[in-house]
Amino acid sequence: MTQYHVSASAGSLAGGGTEADPFLTIGQAAAIARAGDEIIVHEGTYRESVDPRFGGESETNRIVYRAAEGEPRPVITGAERVTSWMPEGDGVWKVVLPSGFFGGYNPYVETVFGDWTVYPDPKVEVRHLGDVYLNGKSFYEVSSLDKVRAPERWDTGRDAATNTIVPLLDPDATLNVWYCETDAEHTTIWANFHDADPNVEMTEINVRETCFYPSRPYVNYITVRGFELCRAACPYTPPTADQVGLIGPHWSRGWVIEDNVIHDAKCSAVSLGKEISTGDNESTRTHRKSGYQYQKEAVYKALHVGWRKGVVGGHVVRGNTIYDCGQNGVVGHMGCAFSLIEHNHIYRIGTKREFFGWEVAAIKMHAAVDTIVRRNRVHDSVLGMWLDWQAQGTIVDSNVFYRNTRDVMTEVTHGPITFMNNVFASPFSFDDYAQGAAFVNNLFAGRIRHTQVLDRSTPYHFPHSTDVAGEAFVYGGDDRYVNNLFMTADGAGEAERMSDAAGGEGVVDTGTACFEDYPHSLDEYERRIEQAGLGDEELYRSVPQPMMLEANTYVGGARAASWETDAVIDAGEGSMALRETPEAVWLAVVLPDAARAAVGRVVGTADLGQPRIVEEYFENPDGSPIAVNRDITGALRGERSARGPLASYSDGEVLIWER
């Protein structure tokens, strides 16, 4: 093993990489480091995009990039400082930069582009991948120089996912905006700095596409630990695109990205996603086929070139703080399979709302086969987590979601997905466009929407594999709700119809009453199909799938299906409150007597059966059985314990997440 040292203050381009004679850039080490080597990066700011040439060989023989112990975090940034601004009056300044300043990638030419992006009028108004920062604070891009000189007040905007009006800014905030024009030789940027002097303050602009990202795939087994990574002009990352992030493995296996502070990715911070050979926004580029069709083709193309366990995926994203990104905190399509997303703090994702699209969420993964999402804290985002297509064998355990426009969405996936010990605390807790999930010992403090999807057939796999076993529609149902605690949002307990901006429609409720007419078992479902008469696929679209409802508790107007086994319905008012610091979150739940006394048995794999379509058990990625025998704090559950994420409810606060 060789240790290389990098120092922004003491290193040189002629350095030997030793502690006494360090490299000046991380790229110098990345060009030569081999399996077993360790790169120690000392404090300072590194304005570069690290492109590791080699990877490790195994989990135990990897290449490690880490911050030097006992020093401030080294900063890897995709931005450059600019001090040549020229004043134009009324707080507006201009800078003119030669094209060579940007090398081969100019973020003020490149736009937020791709399948499922949403622009009111793309001929008039688009958003570029560049940005302007004053003392670390990003500006808003506007569509004309006039709007730089007289900034509009963007107090509210429309959230594309829910088609609702949402607040954008602090009404008292000063709006900093910028605008750009480019030609063959120059890029000109105007910005309104109000009373600040951009040549004196720390003023930066996005220049590089990434901060730490190999330029080619299959650079395996790399660890990145202890850095601050920020301000990259990374592109929009739908599942049909080359999913480039601020940091990511680029279609490799076995990366560990841990204990970093990652922020201000123009689109996606951590990408575990697809690469370009299986397609790159072909629907938007050609309009020949739908994005849905190209996405299906991408899956089969990836299988053809070797997407399987042990070749791609198996990453760990752990202990990071991720915030202020335009599209995603963590994103992935297929390359996220067999991974662990654990103990991250993710917030303010998509909340600038400079651009819209159907792929915006703090965690957005397609084909998260046998992936575990555990003990994350996700808040103040447009959508906390979105599990889309082929979330099979996925486990979502002991996460805390709050103050999101929506907490979690599942879409056109067929299970099994296991949700256990989670807190869904936002007024819109769960958006279910999927089937085949098990919800065990969760707290739902808000509304839930249930929807069929009968116009898109998506793949499912043989258990614990990427091999495709078939495709299916989402018929609705085939879920299991056991030992959950339902509380009403804003005191509302009545069901309502709600249309999605994409054209879907579903029933929104605060509980499980919307499943009143669903079969209670697979046997009953099969009898209904038989009684429906002659036919084939159309019969299965007309009969809802079976539901398992057992031992859930409903408080303050939350509603249960009348046939549920061992339901406790307490009309008394309960309350839930979260208290937070940057390092921790506490939960306080006040329940009326009957709800507080309600208990349920420990539930596991043997109790949950198999989703009808996939016929795979709810089990761990290694095939061992699941047992929900611990609560969100890690405390053991007795043979009969409280319902919801806690094994028991005391009168005070309970620490449920800690850095």
pLDDT > 80? residue 157? no
The answer to whether residue 53 is domain-embedded is yes
Q: Enter the pTM of the model.
A: 0.95
> How confident is the model over 257-266, as pLDDT tens digits?
999 999 999 9
> How confident is the model over 557-566, as pLDDT tens digits?
899 999 999 9
% of the chain with per-residue pLDDT over 70: 93
Do 37 and 156 have their domain in common?
no
Its sign, for the CA torsion 46, 49, 55, 60, is positive
The CATH number assigned to the domain holding 521 equals 2.160.20.10
> How confident is the model over 485-530, as pLDDT tens digits?
999 855 344 445 444 433 346 677 789 999 999 999 999 999 999 9
> Which residue among 34, 69, 104 closes a domain?
69
CA dist 647 and 421 (Å) reads 10
Do 65 and 202 have their domain in common?
no
pLDDT > 60? residue 154? no
Q: What is the mean pLDDT of the chain?
A: 93
Residue 223 CB: number of other CB atoms within 10 A? 19
Averaged over 433-455, what is the pLDDT? 96
Do 124 and 178 have their domain in common?
yes
The answer to whether residue 356 is domain-embedded is no
- Using an 8 Å Cβ cutoff, are 272 and 251 in contact? no
CA dist 560 and 502 (Å) reads 29
> How confident is the model over 79-129, as pLDDT tens digits?
999 999 999 999 999 999 999 999 999 999 999 999 999 876 666 678 999
In the numeric block, which tokens belong to residue 358? 């159907």
- At residue 566, the pLDDT reads 97
pLDDT > 90? residue 242? yes
The answer to whether residue 84 is domain-embedded is yes
The answer to whether residue 558 is domain-embedded is yes
Do 438 and 499 have their domain in common?
yes
CA dist 193 and 314 (Å) reads 45
Do 510 and 655 have their domain in common?
yes
CA dist 386 and 74 (Å) reads 32
Does the N-terminal peptide bond of residue 427 adopt cis geometry, omega within 30 degrees of 0? no
**pLDDT class of 228 with cuts at 50, 70, 90:** very high
The answer to whether residue 335 is domain-embedded is no
pLDDT > 50? residue 233? yes
The answer to whether residue 279 is domain-embedded is no
Averaged over 181-206, what is the pLDDT? 96
Do 103 and 172 have their domain in common?
yes
- At residue 499, the pLDDT reads 46
Do 111 and 9 have their domain in common?
no
Do 29 and 106 have their domain in common?
no
Closest CA to 285 of 325, 251, 236: 236
- At residue 134, the pLDDT reads 97
- At residue 650, the pLDDT reads 86
pLDDT > 50? residue 406? yes
Averaged over 360-379, what is the pLDDT? 98
pLDDT > 50? residue 327? yes
Query: 251: helix, coil or strand?
Result: coil
- At residue 341, the pLDDT reads 98
Determine the structural domain holding residue 25 and report its residue range.
1-69
> Which residue among 50, 69, 88 closes a domain?
69
> How confident is the model over 610-644, as pLDDT tens digits?
999 999 999 999 999 999 999 999 999 999 999 99
- Using an 8 Å Cβ cutoff, are 132 and 124 in contact? no
CA dist 611 and 547 (Å) reads 10
- At residue 324, the pLDDT reads 97
**pLDDT class of 458 with cuts at 50, 70, 90:** very high
Q: What's the start-to-end Cα distance of the chain, in Å?
A: 32
Do 508 and 636 have their domain in common?
yes
How many folded domains does the chain comprise? 3
The answer to whether residue 529 is domain-embedded is yes
Do 92 and 40 have their domain in common?
no
Do 109 and 6 have their domain in common?
no
Do 624 and 512 have their domain in common?
yes
Closest CA to 192 of 142, 148, 152, 154: 148
Averaged over 336-365, what is the pLDDT? 95
The answer to whether residue 419 is domain-embedded is no
Residue 255 CB: number of other CB atoms within 10 A? 29
Q: Which residue has the tokens 């819209």?
A: 356
pLDDT > 80? residue 172? no
